[in-house]
Amino acid sequence: MRRLWQKLWSLFSRGSTDQSQQPARRSLGELGEDEAVRLLKSKGYRILARQMRNSFGEIDIIAEEGRTIVFVEVKTRTDESGGKPWEAVNQKRQERMTRAALAWLKKTRRLDRSARFDVISILWPDLNKPADLTHFPRAFDAQGRGQMFR
């Protein structure tokens, strides 16, 4: 475990001089989102937005599968010591995503479209090897008052 943290530190610290090891000082989460986008594109999804933020919250990826708008939460971890990555998408996070998604649908005038929430769980213990991605389509229903995606 310590060795992994040393590797991550050397990849992202300002003092590192090994440019071949530095992925432009991007965080593990950003690298995970890049992998998630690749996965979604390979499945035929069209990416509409990334890291969308509004006053209600943030959505990592907004994609389109056919006529369905897909709001995707990406969770990336180096190990499972704190649980599986997807377990971090708790009730509170689901409610925030629901509110943010509704605001986005209103703003972009897409309230007439069907929508769903997916989760992509990424376990990536060694950045020099491929990550283990698991896609959970329809991971949860809209949460909070006035559920919108029935």
- 33 lies in which domain range? 26-140
Segment 97-141, tens digit of pLDDT: 999 999 999 999 999 999 999 999 999 888 888 889 999 999 998
The answer as to whether 15 is a domain residue is no
Residue 102 lies in a domain: yes
In a domain, 4, yes or no: no
Which pLDDT tens digit goes with each residue over 10-43?
Answer: 555 444 444 444 444 568 888 899 999 999 999 9
- CATH, residue 86: 3.40.1350.10
Whether 36 maps to a domain, the answer reads yes
Contacts 24+ apart (CB under 8 A), 81-88: 81/1, 84/121, 84/123, 85/121, 85/122, 85/123, 86/119, 86/121, 86/134, 86/136, 86/139
Instruction: Evaluate whether residue 104 is within a structural domain.
Output: yes
- Within-domain flag for 146: no
User: How far apart, in Å, are the Cα atoms of 23 and each of 34, 39, 77?
Assistant: 12, 19, 17
| pLDDT for residue 20 | 44
pLDDT at 64: 97
pLDDT confidence of residue 19? 43
Whether residue 11 is contained in a domain is answered as no
Count of domains forming the chain: 1
pLDDT of residue 5: 52
| Alpha carbon distance 89, 84 (integer Å) | 10
Torsional class of 146: left (φ above 0), alpha (ψ -120 to 50), beta (otherwise): left
pLDDT at 56 over 80: yes
pLDDT for the residue numbered 4: 53
Residue 123 lies in a domain: yes
